[in-house]
Structure 1
Amino acid sequence: MAEAFVSQDVLHRACGVCPSRRLPVGEFDVHERPSREAPFDPADGYRYSAGGVPVCVHPEKVGLPAAGYKSEGAALVMKVELPATEAELVPYLHDLLYGAAPVLLDDLIGQASAEIPRVFPGVDVVETLRRALS
């Protein structure tokens, strides 16, 4: 069996009953917020879709965009959308990278590395990423 996304990290922001604590990425859906579409099941304490798919209802806590990963086979992607000014760049990247699921980091760093010189030609990409990650 594949290892759970959050694993044994008790300090992770995911709720104690989040499917990310017991299932790998792709084996559960992520909804924007709690809703009737994914009711709480008092029998085991988890939320499920009408189709029986486990659901996380706090995308900001698990660092995954809301999507039907299990139910729809949604691709696991996030898009880097750089801020309007260079002054906002490091704080934006810091929040983006620290808030993202670890499985997304390689792709996000790759996107940032390609987009930074396109949007901010005079910016040192490596130094900017170092500052964002420190």
Structure 2
Amino acid sequence: MAEAFVRGEEHRACGICPSRRLPLGEFDVAERPSREFPFSSEDGHRYTAEGVPVCVHPEKVGVPAARYKSDRVPLMGELDLPADEAELEMYLRDMVHGAAPGVLESLIEQASREIAQRFPGVDTTAMLRRAFMA
């Protein structure tokens, strides 16, 4: 059996999220809870009409909303750096500790490029190290 990508109690994913029992790409991620993805009375999880498990908190699992399982959408991370340099360290800490393992490397590469462009006075490597250590 493939290992779930969200492990550990410190992760922000909900306790019943499919990310805690399924690997990347084996469930869909919706923008928010809706009637389109009702709870199953049998197990308390949300599903599409076709029976695909659904996470409804993309910000908690670290991947953008998409029909990963239903439409075999490839997994990509989205970076949205804050406009204010003072918020950068907190943003990176949340990104590092909330991203799905399958997208973390891509997010770090994007952050390295974009931080250097947007905040030229910031030591990107040191900032990312602090984010990992927090």
The reply to whether TM is greater than 0.5 is yes
Q: Is residue 50 of structure 2 the alignment partner of residue 51 of structure 1?
A: yes
Once the two structures are superposed, the pairs formed by residues 92-111 of structure 1 within 5 Å of their partners are 92-111=91-110
Once the two structures are superposed, the pairs formed by residues 102-121 of structure 1 within 5 Å of their partners are 102-121=101-120
State the Cα deviation string for residues 12-71 of structure 1 (Å, max 9, x = none): 443333222221110000112221111111123221101211111222332222211101
Q: CA RMSD in A?
A: 1.9
Q: Which residue of 1 aligns with 2:31?
A: 32
Identity within the alignment, %: 65
CA distance 1:82–1:34, change in 2 (3 Å): closer
Indicate conservation of the 8 Å contact 2:39/2:46, yes or no.
yes
C-alpha displacement of 1:81 = 2.6
Q: Bigger relative contact order, structure 1 or 2, given CA contacts below 8 A and separation 6+?
A: 2
Q: Is residue 3 of structure 2 the alignment partner of residue 3 of structure 1?
A: yes
Q: Which residue of 1 aligns with 2:128?
A: 129
**d(CA) in 1 for partners of 2:9, 2:127:** 31
> Greater CA radius of gyration, 1 or 2?
1
Q: Which residue of 2 aligns with 1:85?
A: 84
Once the two structures are superposed, the pairs formed by residues 51-70 of structure 1 within 5 Å of their partners are 51-70=50-69
**d(CA) in 1 for partners of 2:101, 2:42:** 31
**d(CA) in 1 for partners of 2:119, 2:11:** 34
Give the TM-score normalised by the residue count of structure 1. Answer: 0.84
Q: Which residue of 2 aligns with 1:23?
A: 22
In structure 1, runs of 5+ residues without a counterpart are: none
Q: Match of 1:127, as an amino acid?
A: A
User: More displaced, 90-99 or 49-58?
Assistant: 90-99
C-alpha displacement of 1:10 = 4.4
Aligned residue for 1:41, secondary structure, equals: coil
